[in-house]
Amino acid sequence: MFTLAAAAALGSATAAGGAGGEADDKAPTELALVKLEPMAVPIVDGDHVQGELRVHLYLSAKDPASAGEMGPQMPRLRAATFATMMDFARLYASPFQAVNSDQLAKKLTAALRKENPAIHEVLITAVAAKPV
């Protein structure tokens, strides 16, 4: 599970570039995080709700200007996040085992980049699968 400090450190390390001083073309030049409200989706097995997948996350934008422009796009970004989480919960989540947060972050990043290419990556700060 990431903490906000770990997410900030990850973003700072990404922004610093490679060891040779060359910046990655896809890496943000400055840390620009946009917080999404916490989300929860049911974990369903067949016709039975087994639990709930809860996630707290931030979007790392490619630059501060892009982060500032995400406000009006929030309904679309939240809808894409919800749909991706529902799919992940159906296929990979269980209230009886740890959630693969790396796999979830990759799936969320791919889905949200389709909605807004200025999103560099999704940073998960907390994730839990709880039984009902």
Q: How many structural domains comprise the chain?
A: 1
β-bridge mates for residue 41, sequence order: 53
Structural domain of 57: 4-16+26-131
Tell me whether residue 104 is exposed, middle or buried, using C-beta atoms within 10 angstroms of its C-beta: 0 to 12, 13 to 18, 19 or more. Answer: buried
pLDDT score for 119? 96
Residue 81 lies in a domain: yes
Q: Within 10 A of 79 (CB to CB), how many other CB atoms are there?
A: 11
Tell which wins on pLDDT, 113 or 26: 113
Residue 21 lies in a domain: no
The pLDDT tens digits of the residues spanning 98-130 come to 999 999 999 999 999 999 999 999 999 999 999
Tell which wins on pLDDT, 129 or 25: 129
pLDDT score for 57? 97
User: Residue 13: pLDDT above 70?
Assistant: no
Mean pLDDT of the chain: 85
Q: What is the mean pLDDT of residues 27-47?
A: 89
> Which CATH number covers residue 68?
3.30.479
Residue 98 lies in a domain: yes
pLDDT score for 46? 86
Residue 52 lies in a domain: yes
Task: Indicate the pLDDT class of residue 27, thresholds 50, 70 and 90.
Answer: low
Would you say how long the chain is, in residues? 132
Residue 35 lies in a domain: yes
The pLDDT tens digits of the residues spanning 76-96 come to 999 999 999 999 999 999 999
